[in-house]
Structure 1
Amino acid sequence: MTFALFTEQILNGLQLGVMLFLMAAGLTLIFGVMGLINLAHGSLFMVGGFVCAAVAVWSGSFWLGLAASLVASAAAGALVEIAVIRRLYDRDHLDQVLATFALVLMFSEATRFVFGSSPLYLNPPAMLSGPVMLPGGIAYPAYRLAIIVAGLLVAGGLGLLINRTRLGVRIRAGEADREMISALGIDIRTLYTIVFALGAALAGFAGALVGAIQSVEVGMGEPVLILAFVVIVIGGIGSIRGALIASVIVGVVDTMGRFLLPDLLSGMMDAASARGTGAAIASMLIYVLMALVLIVKPRGLFPAHG
């Protein structure tokens, strides 16, 4: 294995981790502030991907599609919160799971109705379509590098929003004691709608960015949602810092496992079997990692409180 190939896989893991962070950050905010288990979060990822692809094809501009995905996913999130989710806050988690699972089915069928069942394909913008030469003579796709940079910028922006703004103070207060901030005159219903729309916009942004790497299709958000749940369990519920660090760990572990394990197993079996077995074991690694973290720190690496 060459240094260039190893570095490329590390960057691929970082790119996957950043994409998971965009999903997990919104999910952990929603769960931490509202105490809501939202299985429909992956559907908002799908909405972002489909809207970006459709608008980019219609307008010929990837950037217009990206902007449209943010608006559409945030609007969809706000509408869902107002129409459905706010009726679930005082219900138990089983009711939340059943209701948001029903939303998943509704989003899937609505997407098929509007966009059809065939996958959509999205090309990256021309300025990011080629490789970038990194130190050491490493050629890495400019678009994947842009995803990494965009994700880190979003992480920094979220950190500033949560820790340095009046809205962030209200979000943290709502997470700690929602009854108290309601008593102080803050409109908790509006705050919840804003948080849900913010989380939806992050999910839609992730779906739009990933759409130029893989096809955009119905159900594309569910596998990512599972990984996002793993991320927030490892990082700690309600913690943006925990979500970022855990996302990078999960992305690198998953990518390097899929890259290294087939080579390690190739001496014990044929190449095809080594690839299949290596991919299966790599898929298990992140869940083994989650189990180990829960054994040592049941509340995650960086819980929001304590």
Structure 2
Amino acid sequence: MSAVLLIEQALNGLQFGVMLFLMGAGLTLIFGVMGLINLAHGSLYMVGAFAAAAVAGATGSFLLALVASLVAAAIAGVLVEVLVIRRLYDRDHLDQVLATFALILIFSEGTRWAFGSFPLFLDRPEWLAGTVMLPFGIEYSLYRLFIILVGLAVAAGLFWMIAYTRIGIQIRAGENDREMIGALGVNISALYTLVFALGAALAGFAGAMIGAIQSVQVGMGEPVLILAFVVIVIGGIGSIKGALVGALLVGLTDTLGRLLLPQFFELFMEPAAATSVGASLASMAIYILMAGVLLFKPSGLFGSTA
């Protein structure tokens, strides 16, 4: 195996991890501030992807499609929070799971009714088509590099917002003592709606970005949601830093595991058997990673131990 192939796959893992961060960051904000288990987060990812595909098809503009994904997912998030989620804050987690699972079904059938059952396709713009030459003679997809750079920029913006802005201070305070910040005059309902809309917008943006790599279809958000839960469990619930580190670990583990494990087992068995065993273990690698982290850090890498 060449070093160039290894670096290319590492970049693919980084791109996958950045996409998972956009999902996981919103999920960890919602759970950390609101204490809500939101199974419908993957549906907001799907809403963003379908909104982007529809706008790109109507206007031909990829940038407008990205803006549409943010706006559509944020609006859907506000409606969900105001109409449904707001009634669940004082309920136990089982009620939250059942209600948000029902939202998955509603979003899936509503999307199928609006767009049909056939997949949509979001074309990459010409200025992001093709490849770019990186150092050491590495030729890499320009669009995947764009996802990495935009995702890291979003991560930097989130860190800045949480650390240095007034709303960030309120979010951090809400994670620790929501009753106290309410007593100090902060509008808790408005804060919760804002956090939910921000998390929804990040999920929708991730759906739009990945929609140009794979087809946009009903139910596309649920597999990503499972991985996003793995990310925030590894990183620590409520931690943006943990979401970023966890997402990168999951992305690199999954991508490099699928490349390296079959080759490793070829040292001990026939190629066909090695491929089968390696692929099976590669699909389990991120869950083995999660179990290993929880064994030594039950609250996650950056989670609160309180």
Q: State the TM-score bracket (shorter-chain normalisation).
A: over 0.9
Q: What runs of 5+ residues in structure 1 fail to find an aligned partner?
A: none
Residues 163-194 of structure 1, C-alpha deviations (whole Å, 9 max, x = no match): 10000011111111111111111110000000
Kindly, what percent of the aligned residue pairs are identical? Answer: 69
Distance 2:305 2:298 in 1: 13
Q: Which residue of 2 aligns with 1:81?
A: 81
Q: Which residue of 2 aligns with 1:185?
A: 185
Q: Which residue of 2 aligns with 1:13?
A: 13
SS in 2 for 1:140: strand
- Cα RMSD of the aligned pairs, angstroms, is 1.1
Query: Within 5 Å, which residues of 2 pair with 1:295-306?
Result: 295-304=295-304
How many angstroms does 1:270 deviate by? 4.4
Paired letter, 2:270: M
Query: Within 5 Å, which residues of 2 pair with 1:146-295?
Result: 146-266=146-266, 268-271=269-272, 273-295=273-295
Residues 63-111 of structure 1, C-alpha deviations (whole Å, 9 max, x = no match): 1111101000000001100000010000000000000000000000001
Distance 1:278 1:119 in 2: 31
Q: Which residue of 2 aligns with 1:55?
A: 55
Paired letter, 1:79: L
Distance 1:276 1:103 in 2: 37
Contact 2:231 2:250 in 1 (8 A): yes
Q: Which moved more, 1:288-297 or 1:25-34?
A: 288-297
Q: Which residue of 1 aligns with 2:42?
A: 42
SS in 1 for 2:136: coil
Q: Which residue of 1 aligns with 2:121?
A: 121
Distance 1:47 1:258 in 2: 30
How many angstroms does 1:247 deviate by? 0.5
Distance 2:248 2:150 in 1: 14
Contact 2:299 2:305 in 1 (8 A): no
2:133 corresponds to 1:133: yes
How many angstroms does 1:266 deviate by? 3.9
How many residues are paired up?
Answer: 305
How many angstroms does 1:252 deviate by? 0.2
SS in 2 for 1:133: strand
Q: What runs of 5+ residues in structure 2 fail to find an aligned partner?
A: none
Q: Which residue of 1 aligns with 2:2?
A: 2
Distance 1:180 1:228 in 2: 30
How many angstroms does 1:274 deviate by? 4.0
Distance 2:155 2:94 in 1: 31
How many angstroms does 1:282 deviate by? 0.8
Q: Which residue of 2 aligns with 1:23?
A: 23
Distance 1:36 1:154 in 2: 23
Residues 205-237 of structure 1, C-alpha deviations (whole Å, 9 max, x = no match): 000000001111111111110000001000000
How many angstroms does 1:53 deviate by? 0.8
SS in 2 for 1:136: helix
Distance 1:275 1:155 in 2: 36
Distance 2:270 2:69 in 1: 45
* TM-score relative to the length of structure 1: 0.97
Paired letter, 1:253: T
Distance 2:280 2:218 in 1: 24
How many angstroms does 1:16 deviate by? 0.3
Q: Which residue of 2 aligns with 1:102?
A: 102
Distance 1:138 1:198 in 2: 36
